[in-house]
Chain A
Amino acid sequence: MIRIVETRIDRQEIVKSVSSPESGAIVTFDGTVRNHARGKPVTHLHYEAFPEMATKELEKIRAEAMRRWPLNGMAIVHRIGRMEIDESSVFIAVSAAHRQDAFEACRFAIDTLKTTVPIWKKEHYQDGEVWIEGYGK
């Protein structure tokens, strides 16, 4: 499952999509909206995507992870639009026969996503808002 969604992320559905009898581990990463950044209180976030390209880049991450580790499944779902504190903006689930492969592949997926997938975050504060720019590819 590779998706860009505009509504609340359904964690259970994503975990279910990678579960299999051959797996001994499912590792998940849940990226949530934090109430502060750079020493400032954050009221909410807004995410924007280049949807067609973001989906392609997410597919590439999954393909690369499946090639590098013996996985049974990988699902990545990123939400866009307005998100409140504590809500999930991204959820990744990885299943494998053994936990080490699942842990490593999950870490690879979120770290790569943060540098290659065209999605941007805008932080909203009490007194304004600012687009956050990453560090580039």
Chain B
Amino acid sequence: MLRVRFFASLKDLVGDSEVEIQLEEKTSVRKIFDQLKTRFPELKKYQPILLVAVNQEYANFDASVSPGDELSFFPPVSGG
């Protein structure tokens, strides 16, 4: 199982702050994102700008994820 979290505008777009994905073996963030895009097609337009974190550390689409990991997607930050 893989826990996938969304924040801010991405959370609104997906309609949920997190989803669980069945995951048996190590894969790439890109593959997970492609899977999510078929489920939430609106995610596509965010692909060029969104940020990725694996286990709460910044990562990228080429990073790998394993069962039990936490993957997060969010828009560029705007705190301060």
Contact = CB atoms under 8 A, between A and B. Distances in A.
B79 A114 contact: yes
A125 interface: no
Interface string A123-137: 000000001111111
Contacts of A103: none
A133 B7 contact: no
A114 B74 contact: no
Given A56-B56, A131-B75, A120 B7 contact: yes
For chain B, which range describes its interface: under 10, 10 to 19, 20 to 34, or 35 or more residues? 10 to 19
Interface in B27-80: 49, 51, 53, 56-58, 72, 74-80
Contact of B8 (A113, A117, A120): A120
B49 A110 contact: no
Given A131-B9, A133-B49, A137-B58, A114 B72 contact: no
